Amino acid sequence: MSSWLDYTINGLIVGNVYALVAVGLALIFGVSRLINFAQGSIYLVGAYIGWVAVVQLHTPLPLTIIVVAAAAALVGLIIERFGLRPLQNSVRIAPLLATIGISFVLDQLVMLTFSPNPRALPSQLPDVRFQLGGGTIGPLDLLIAGVGITSALLLFVFLRYSKLGWAVRAASQDRDAAMQMGVDVNRVNQAVFGIAAALGGVSGMLVGMYYNQIDTAMSLQATLKGVVAEVVGGAGNVPGAVIGSLLLGLVESYGVAVFGTSYRNLFAFLLLVVVLVLRPNGLFASARQAPPEPLTGTFIAPSRPVRIPRWALAVAAAGFAILPLFPVSFYVLQTLINAWLLGMLALSLTLVAGTIGQVSLGHAALLAIGAYTSALLSLALSVPVGLAVIGGGLMSAALGTLLISPSFRLRGHYVSIATLAIGEIVSLVILNWESVTRGPIGISGIPPLSLFGYDLISPSSVYWFSLAVIVVLALLQGRLLTSHLGRSFRAIRDDDIAARAYGLSLNRYKSLAFIFGGFAAGVSGGIAAHLYSYINHETFNTQQSILALTVVILGGLGNVVGAIVGSVALVGLPEVFRIAAEYRILIYGIVLLLLVRFRPQGLLGTI
Amino acid sequence: MSNIDRRTLVKGSLAAMMAGAAFSRAAFAQSSEPILLGVSGPLTGPNAQYGAQWKQGFDLALDEIHAAGGINGRKLAYQFEDSQSDPRQSVAIAQKFVSDPRIVMELGDFSSPASMAASPIYQRGGLVQFGFTNSHPDFTKGGDFMWSTSVSQADEQPLLASYAVKRLGLKKLAVLHLNTDWGRTSRDHFVKAAKEYGAEIAVTEGYIAEERDFRSTLVRVRDANPDGLILISYYSDGALIARQARQVGLKQTICAASSVYSPKFLELGGEAVEDVHLGTRYFPEDPRPEVKKFIAGFKAKYNGQEPDAFNAYSYDAMNMAAAVLKIGGIDRRTIRDAFAKVKDVSSVIFGQATFDVESRRVKGAMNAELVVRKGQFALWDGKPT
């Protein structure tokens, strides 16, 4: 019995930690309907500024907090002014991508300045412990709780009763109307980003002190857990974010209690999916709240896609097909193989995200399902590799569609968050389902690609094989887009209410898109498994999902050729920047930001 | 990277990219050029810290190798390509190295998915993949070009089990392990050995690498009522667990795997890691000359910083590479054959390292039983804590 008290206390303590990030995310989402993926990076920056203040300058705690808050707020203002404000008239999806680019840049800057080694960030509070249940808590726990709850309350009061708060809420409901009423929307956004960043910075510092440890990898984890907590509480709802965080902490703690440590995050993401399916606006959303706007649809600026004549495409394909006949190095071929594999994933995502408007952030899960299916079919059942890869595609289509189907009723950002969670769930199931997937040990000795009994081992043959697959998939998808079915997909994306009124069954069409897309992604995963010969639960991770989405947006949503061009660009750029060693991801982030800034509809435009 | 000038590197990269195999072959003919090793490892991304530690160890070893006259008079250098521990990038790097005739041998990668995805390419390309942190039991099964000096967990874990059970007298153990291929393999070897020595395993808990909060896990551990905690962890998570164990009121003896052996473990863990026991391969006051030389050299080169386990692995790896090149020359195949011929290479981890030709690994890691006393690693004096 006393153990349950301890689990409860521990759940609340860690929920407390999540709340600090969630509140900042909720504030920004409330105003700009934007999931700020850079919030975790500001948290990271805050932690390192705190380290400089505490360890180098020996500032007392109140001064440390002020320094960190001020510096982080400054970073927030810079992000708002130079990263996001130029994008306010562009497509809604551009700022989302910009925050991802900004987080790359900030994380890399911190890493280059401070080295990736973890550092100790000593707490400046007296080291006393209070007995609570079987364990103890310290003054830092209380301070974190105090900061979380106080800031949530202050923000609540600020939004409800102050004039600037009204302006913030007005801007969040209808930007144009607010501007007509004389609200300086830019100033509102500045205020919100400044406050959210200050909070994010202070929370990074406090959490660093709490664990006596800061490192450059803390940013993505903070964002992930913060997003989960925020959405559970109701996106944009500041007090809801605190309660959502505590609930998340409790669910994780009880999950550990009942099933063991390795199931912990599984419960966090299951909670998210369940909440999204049952109460899509979060547990504490008010009924009056306007329905979430679709992320794409009407928010995809009507752009004129770049028309590439067919003969040019045919020439390009032929050019790539004869490339291995020239004395190019295997390195170039391997890089292009990677691009074709990513391209298959991007084709899949550009269909579900661009054509039918379901922006998925968990697409790597489809790769993983395809890869494991194909690997296990060929190893355990001795299925010929060519058939096993197709089996991987089919399994990915079936299982992926089944897993994603509960989120069909969601719209806009909520689809992205649900798919993010489903992606994590798939990865955690692979980690824990040891009897089938061999858990963390992974699957080794996967046979190489072969076709009709001939092993495809040389880089040229793998290159031709993957090129052929992607060309066939692209032709099929191009045909699909010009068909009646493709027009129905776009109708659902552009106005789902009108589409429904016209008699289209949304769920059926979304399923069809995921079945087709799942197949392409599964085939890509299957080929990758046979190419690598070894896979485990880390091979297909969240970074892959984010990369795929970047490719799709870069190429132009729904644009088949764009997806392939984007893949070549995003696989190629980091390779070209290899000369820059540690700086290459920084450069990559900056290039990404510039692309979003100057070509938000993607290189080839939305179809 | 830091050991070859930028222009050479640019030239080399261009050469590899522009299909200039012939061009760089011409460059290679000048024997004043250093012998070049390829390193594939994380310089950015979540594992970047380990890549940075590799570099420190490599650079120190290179200084010593050059001071001793290089490889039969020629200098040795390495080209570090950042893989972010991502299999997609490590396979591209593998093709790059394989098709670059200046590269005579490859070292790395760090994680198993990245390393083992690249193995088929190195095997078919006939370039040695020398994975010095690859403990995955299947790594060297990738082919006869895969060699590893990573301490086999089948060797290390029984030593730790013996320390915990036989020497410290612990009878009922809770095992916390990283839920990675390394942590899982280690756990299995540890549990097997500890049971053989007569201990009971009360509970085992696997956690993911990004985990930071262990309080609920530790309540589970407490309820299993063990008399000792075993940490199969790296230093950062190991320090977190030790701190939180004390916070939730666990006072049992903690015994940790050698991977926590780092000054960072003391810095991050603070008072909570006092009296933590750990088995390591070397220790600060180790009388062995190779260890004294390594520690003194490292402190001199890096402003008094203490080296840790990963520094030692990469230092040893570079020395091993030099020893292999001295008898294997610069031909990729004779280099592979030389791995089977090198004998008793001076090593911080093994004392004297000789490959077992069957498993292509080195057996017989050194063992030291340490304990943290007054914020320092010290040889355990046999006194109970």
| pLDDT per residue as tens digits for the range A360-408 | 888 999 999 999 999 999 999 989 999 999 999 999 999 999 998 888 8
B188 touches chain A (CB under 8 A): no
- Same domain flag for A270 and A358: no
Distance from the A534 Cα atom to the nearest Cα atom in chain B, whole angstroms: 6
Which chain A residues in 185-214 lie under 8 Å from chain B, judged by CB atoms? Answer: 211-213
Closest CA to A293 of A280, A303, A305: A280
- Same domain flag for A268 and A379: no
Binary contact (B184, A138; C-beta < 8 A): no
Contact A381, A510 (CB under 8 A): no
pLDDT, average across residues A286-303:
51
C-alpha A72: how far from chain center: 23
CB environment B284-306: b (16+ within 10 A), e (fewer): bebebebbeebbebbeeeeeeeb
- Same domain flag for A244 and A315: no
Q: Which two tokens stand for residue A327?
A: 């004395």
Three-class DSSP labels, B330-344: CCHHHHHHHHHHCCC
> For residue A290, is it within any domain?
no
C-alpha distances out from residue A355 to A351, A423, A479, A560, Å: 5, 21, 13, 10
Per-residue pLDDT, A298: 46
pLDDT, average across residues B377-382:
86
- Same domain flag for A340 and A268: no
Count the neighbouring beta carbons within 10 Å of the beta carbon of residue B147.
25
Lowest mean pLDDT, pick from A547-556, B90-99, B187-196, B200-209: A547-556
Closest CA to B51 of B314, B328, B369: B314
Contact A214, A51 (CB under 8 A): yes
Closest CA to A455 of A530, A507, A511, A399: A530
Closest CA to A504 of A484, A483, A518: A484
> What is the torsion angle, in degrees rounded to the nearest 10, for the CA atoms of residue A23, residue A28, residue A34 and residue A35?
-30
Choose the mutation target among B135, B216, B271 for the interface with A, i.e. most A CBs under 10 Å.
B216
B24 touches chain A (CB under 8 A): no
Which chain B residues in 106-135 lie under 8 Å from chain A, judged by CB atoms? Answer: 111-113, 116-117, 119-121, 124-125
- Same domain flag for B35 and B143: yes
Residue B333: band (very low, low, confident or very high) from pLDDT cuts 50, 70, 90: very high
Contact B37, B321 (CB under 8 A): yes
Contact A110, A605 (CB under 8 A): no
Please give the tally of structural domains in chain B.
2
Query: In sequence order, which residues have a C-beta less than 8 Å from that of residue B304 and are 6 or more positions away?
Result: none
Strand pairing of B172-178 and B345-347? unpaired
Q: Which two tokens stand for residue A66?
A: 């002020």
Binary contact (B247, A138; C-beta < 8 A): yes
Binary contact (A442, B21; C-beta < 8 A): no
Average pLDDT score over chain B: 87
Q: How far apart are CA B294 and CA B311, in angstroms?
A: 10
Residue B319 has pLDDT above 90, yes or no: yes
- Same domain flag for B177 and B237: yes
Q: Which two tokens stand for residue A114?
A: 């401070």
Helix (H, G, I), strand (E, B), or coil: what is residue B43? coil
Q: How far apart are CA A151 and CA A164, in angstroms?
A: 16
Residue B58 has pLDDT above 90, yes or no: yes
> For residue B332, is it within any domain?
yes
Distance from the B345 Cα atom to the nearest Cα atom in chain A, whole angstroms: 30
> For residue B285, is it within any domain?
no
> For residue A61, is it within any domain?
yes
- Same domain flag for A54 and A169: yes
Q: How far apart are CA A461 and CA A572, in angstroms?
A: 20
Per-residue pLDDT, B385: 56
- Same domain flag for A273 and A341: no
- Same domain flag for B72 and B27: yes
Residue A400 structural domain: 306-319+329-598
Closest CA to A74 of A167, A190, A179: A190
Q: Which two tokens stand for residue B339?
A: 């791995």
Closest CA to A372 of A455, A451, A431, A457: A431
Distance from the B343 Cα atom to the nearest Cα atom in chain A, whole angstroms: 30
Q: Which two tokens stand for residue A150?
A: 């106080």
Contact A188, A164 (CB under 8 A): yes
- Same domain flag for B137 and B207: no
B224 touches chain A (CB under 8 A): no
Give me the percent of chain A exceeding a pLDDT of 70. Answer: 96
C-alpha distances out from residue B23 to A333, B19, B50, B176, B216, Å: 19, 9, 34, 53, 60
B48 touches chain A (CB under 8 A): yes
- Same domain flag for A259 and A391: no
Three-class DSSP labels, B50-103: HHHHHHHHHHHHHHHHHHCCCECCECEEEEEEECCCCHHHHHHHHHHHHCCCCE
- Same domain flag for B163 and B199: yes
Per-residue pLDDT, B7: 47
- Same domain flag for B206 and B273: yes
> What is the torsion angle, in degrees rounded to the nearest 10, for the CA atoms of residue A447, residue A450, residue A453 and residue A458?
-100
- Same domain flag for B276 and B295: no
Structure confidence by residue, pLDDT tens digits, A42-94: 999 999 999 999 999 999 989 999 999 999 999 999 998 888 888 877 777 77
Q: How far apart are CA A419 and CA A410, in angstroms?
A: 11
Average pLDDT score over chain A: 86
Show residues of chain A in contact with B223, CB under 8 Å: 3
Residue A307: band (very low, low, confident or very high) from pLDDT cuts 50, 70, 90: confident
Give me the percent of chain A exceeding a pLDDT of 90. Answer: 31
> For residue A579, is it within any domain?
yes
CB environment B100-116: b (16+ within 10 A), e (fewer): bbbbbbbbbbbbbbbbb
Binary contact (A122, B1; C-beta < 8 A): no
Per-residue pLDDT, A186: 84
Q: How far apart are CA A215 and CA B384, in angstroms?
A: 34
C-alpha distances out from residue A255 to A133, A269, B179, Å: 19, 11, 17
Structure confidence by residue, pLDDT tens digits, A397-453: 999 999 988 888 887 778 888 898 999 999 999 999 988 988 888 998 899 888 887
Q: How far apart are CA A55 and CA A48, in angstroms?
A: 10
Q: How far apart are CA B90 and CA B92, in angstroms?
A: 5
- Same domain flag for B296 and B147: yes
In CATH, what number is assigned to the domain containing residue A399?
A: 1.10.3470
> Number of Cβ pairs closer than 8 Å across A and B?
227
**Residue with the larger pLDDT of the pair A587 and B26:** A587
Lowest mean pLDDT, pick from A218-232, A380-394, A568-582, B352-366: A568-582
- Same domain flag for A210 and A348: no
Show residues of chain B in contact with A364, CB under 8 Å: none
Residue A547: band (very low, low, confident or very high) from pLDDT cuts 50, 70, 90: confident
Query: In sequence order, which residues have a C-beta less than 8 Å from that of residue A483 and are 6 or more positions away?
Result: none
Contact B70, B38 (CB under 8 A): no
Binary contact (A115, B116; C-beta < 8 A): no
Show residues of chain A in contact with B23, CB under 8 Å: none
- Same domain flag for A367 and A267: no
Strand pairing of B35-41 and B76-82? parallel
Q: How far apart are CA A103 and CA B51, in angstroms?
A: 22
Distance from the B344 Cα atom to the nearest Cα atom in chain A, whole angstroms: 32
Q: How far apart are CA A233 and CA A156, in angstroms?
A: 14
Outline where A52-117 has alpha helix (H). Answer: 61-78, 93-114
Per-residue pLDDT, A286: 56
Residue B13 has pLDDT above 50, yes or no: no
Per-residue pLDDT, A260: 86
Closest CA to A366 of A138, A189, A521: A521
Q: Which residue in chain B has the smallest CA separation from A120?
A: B268
> For residue A257, is it within any domain?
yes
Distance from the B382 Cα atom to the nearest Cα atom in chain A, whole angstroms: 30
B354 touches chain A (CB under 8 A): no
Choose the mutation target among A444, A546, A570, A587 for the interface with B, i.e. most B CBs under 10 Å.
A444
> For residue A231, is it within any domain?
yes
Q: Which two tokens stand for residue A374?
A: 């194909």
Residue B18 has pLDDT above 70, yes or no: no
Which chain A residues in 347-406 lie under 8 Å from chain B, judged by CB atoms? Answer: none
Q: How far apart are CA B283 and CA B370, in angstroms?
A: 8
> For residue A410, is it within any domain?
yes
A252 touches chain B (CB under 8 A): yes
Binary contact (A431, B208; C-beta < 8 A): yes
Q: Across-strand partners of A214?
A: A119
A572 touches chain B (CB under 8 A): no
**Residue with the larger pLDDT of the pair A305 and B161:** B161
> For residue A247, is it within any domain?
yes
Q: Which two tokens stand for residue B296?
A: 């003194």
Binary contact (A536, B44; C-beta < 8 A): no
Residue B107 structural domain: 6-151+291-353
- Same domain flag for B77 and B223: no
> For residue A132, is it within any domain?
no
Show residues of chain B in contact with A584, CB under 8 Å: 44, 82
pLDDT, average across residues B63-80:
92
Show residues of chain B in contact with A251, CB under 8 Å: none
- Same domain flag for B21 and B137: yes
Structure confidence by residue, pLDDT tens digits, B188-219: 999 999 999 999 999 999 998 888 889 889 99
> For residue B196, is it within any domain?
yes
Q: How far apart are CA A601 and CA A327, in angstroms?
A: 37
Q: How far apart are CA B335 and CA B320, in angstroms?
A: 12
Residue B28 has pLDDT above 50, yes or no: no
A113 touches chain B (CB under 8 A): no
- Same domain flag for A274 and A311: no
Choose the mutation target among A334, A338, A379, A587 for the interface with B, i.e. most B CBs under 10 Å.
A334
Show residues of chain A in contact with B175, CB under 8 Å: none
Length of chain A: 607
> For residue B361, is it within any domain?
no
Please give the tally of structural domains in chain A.
2
User: H-helix or E-strand containing B377?
Assistant: strand B376-379
Q: Which member of A330, A332, A578 has the closest CB to residue B98?
A: A330
Show residues of chain A in contact with B141, CB under 8 Å: 444-445
Which chain B residues in 79-98 lie under 8 Å from chain A, judged by CB atoms? Answer: 80-82, 84, 86-89, 91-92, 94-96, 98
- Same domain flag for A506 and A551: yes
Q: How far apart are CA A417 and CA A422, in angstroms?
A: 9
> For residue B363, is it within any domain?
no
B270 touches chain A (CB under 8 A): yes
A460 touches chain B (CB under 8 A): no
Model-level ipTM above the cut of 0.85: yes
- Same domain flag for A222 and A313: no
Residue B24 has pLDDT above 60, yes or no: no
Q: Which member of B13, B87, B208 has the closest CB to residue A265?
A: B208
- Same domain flag for B115 and B243: no
Helix (H, G, I), strand (E, B), or coil: what is residue A130? strand
Q: Which two tokens stand for residue B249?
A: 């009121």
Helix A238-259 and helix A218-233, axial crossing angle in degrees, nearest 10: 110
Binary contact (B220, A260; C-beta < 8 A): yes
Q: How far apart are CA B206 and CA A89, in angstroms?
A: 48
Outline where chain B has alpha helix (H). Answer: 6-17, 21-29, 48-67, 87-98, 112-125, 153-161, 181-196, 215-223, 235-247, 263-269, 289-301, 309-328, 332-341
Binary contact (B49, A117; C-beta < 8 A): yes
Q: Across-strand partners of A131?
A: A136
Choose the mutation target among A2, A8, A264, A330 for the interface with B, i.e. most B CBs under 10 Å.
A330
In CATH, what number is assigned to the domain containing residue B140?
A: 3.40.50.2300
Rg (CA), chain B: 21
B200 touches chain A (CB under 8 A): no
Omega of the bond leading into B356 within 30 degrees of 0 (cis): no
Q: How far apart are CA A443 and CA A539, in angstroms?
A: 11
Residue listed under structure tokens 């180790």: B286
- Same domain flag for B78 and B108: yes
Cα-Cα-Cα-Cα dihedral sign, residues A592, A596, A598, A602: positive
C-alpha A312: how far from chain center: 34
Length of chain B: 385
